[in-house]
Each structure stands twice: as structure tokens, then as C-alpha cells.
């Protein structure tokens, strides 16, 4: 039922506004294909980078790795 607004010349029906639902994001959280521990992930990065520490840090902290895991990895030290 429409609401009525009172004016000087009489009452006028007005349309109520509804809030549209927010779209659901299916890609917000992706499950990892295989369950890996952080140690296994870092060991795989060492194998891929040839054992160079700077290259391992770049691989593990990259935005692509963050998106793939759904978590951000920070290496200290």
C-alpha cells in the first residue's frame, strides 16, 4: 500500500523506496585445491626459486599467492 503525503491542495500518493540487496560475491573466498602447510609452501618456493632468499620472499608475498590462498603471508627476518 502506498503512503500518502499531505500537500496544500490535498493528499498525494507517493512511491516508497526499497533498498536493493547487495550482490553476493562468489569469488570472495576461494578454497585451496590441496591442503598445504606454510612450511610446505615455503619449501616449494625454495625449490622453484633455486634457493635464493630474495626470490623466495617475492614468490611467497606476491599478490597472486595472496589471492590463491585467501590469506596474506608476511615474512619477518
69 or 31, which is more confident? 69
Q: By the 8 A CB rule, do 55 and 49 touch?
A: yes
Tell me the pLDDT band of 1, cut-offs 50, 70 and 90.
low
* Most confidently predicted of 4-13, 26-35, 41-50: 41-50
pLDDT of the residue at 23: 78
Q: How confident is the model at residue 2, as a pLDDT?
A: 59
pLDDT beyond 60 at 48:
yes
Amino acid at each position: 500500500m502506498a503512503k500518502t503525503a499531505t500537500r496544500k491542495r490535498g493528499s498525494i500518493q507517493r512511491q516508497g523506496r526499497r533498498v536493493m540487496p547487495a550482490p553476493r560475491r562468489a569469488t570472495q573466498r576461494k578454497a585451496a585445491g590441496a591442503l598445504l602447510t606454510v612450511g610446505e609452501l615455503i619449501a616449494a618456493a625454495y625449490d622453484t626459486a633455486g634457493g635464493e632468499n630474495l626470490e623466495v620472499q617475492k614468490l611467497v608475498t606476491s599478490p597472486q599467492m595472496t589471492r590463491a590462498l585467501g590469506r596474506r603471508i608476511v615474512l619477518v627476518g
